[in-house]
Amino acid sequence: MKTIKFFMFLSTLFLSFVLFSCSQDEEVYSCNQEVNDWVKQHKSYIQSLNRSQWHELNISVAKPSYSAFTPSQKIAFWKDKFDEVKTLDWSKMELDHIQMAEDYIMQNTHYFRDEKLSEEEYDEIETFCAKWIRTGERDFAWSKKTAFGIIGTGFKMIDKEGNIFIPHNVDEKLSSPVMRTAREVDCNCNIGSVLTCLGDPFGFCEKSKLGCSVTSLSCGVLWIHPCNGTCGGV
């Protein structure tokens, strides 16, 4: 528990740093200025998207766009994700376990509010998810990759092994040539979250050896944590 709180403290420091160093603008969706400007310009349209439409976005702007979602959008987004996951070939006991996670999340929708969560709230959801993951591993022989596919990413989980489909088709209305010239790299995981990197091959979320730009709340379990590191520290 102390370890989780320590990492949450680090996350708070990282997020404070990005709000100062990344931009003086209150609306920070990416530390890549081109991507950030693009999301802000399309914010009204982005906030009208459902999850299926979000899947059509250019991969360069998908997670920054998610950061611009309203709280109600994020709740509907994860409800849709759970509905999709439950269509896979699970046993009844596995489905009950998945339903337990969904019920917990839908009973705690305040996690998706615009304001940063308190340390206590971070601790609550991380503790719940850690226990939920361990039960899946013990009772159903789930891998971390399977758990990640369910609660660690908003992209489509295509099988029980946790493989993820990330579409590459681009909605022309939401495409932009600046995406091809982007140079800065955003961080892609949360240091301290119990589930933030895709499976064991990518290791833990660590401070990037090459450097990455800290971004807003779209990493860790349910994408509620700030992105402040890279998987394996690469």
pLDDT in tens, 24-66: 456 678 878 888 899 999 999 999 999 999 998 988 889 889 9
What is the C-alpha separation between 158 and 162, in angstroms, rounded?
A: 7
- In the numeric block, which tokens belong to residue 125? 């959801």
Q: Calculate mean pLDDT across residues 202-229.
A: 78
Count CB neighbours of 156 within 10 A.
Answer: 17
Instruction: Tell me which residue range forms the domain holding 46.
Output: 1-20+27-234
The pTM of the whole model exceeds 0.85: no
Number of structural domains in the chain:
1
Task: Give 182-191 pLDDT, tens digit per residue.
Answer: 445 678 888 8
State residue 21's pLDDT score.
Answer: 41
Task: Give 159-200 pLDDT, tens digit per residue.
Answer: 999 999 887 655 444 444 444 444 456 788 888 888 777 644
> Which candidate, 167, 211, 166, 214, places its Cα nearest to that of 189?
214
Q: Give the three-state DSSP class for 156.
A: strand
Q: List, in sequence order, every residue forming a beta bridge with 225; answer none if it has no partner.
A: 219
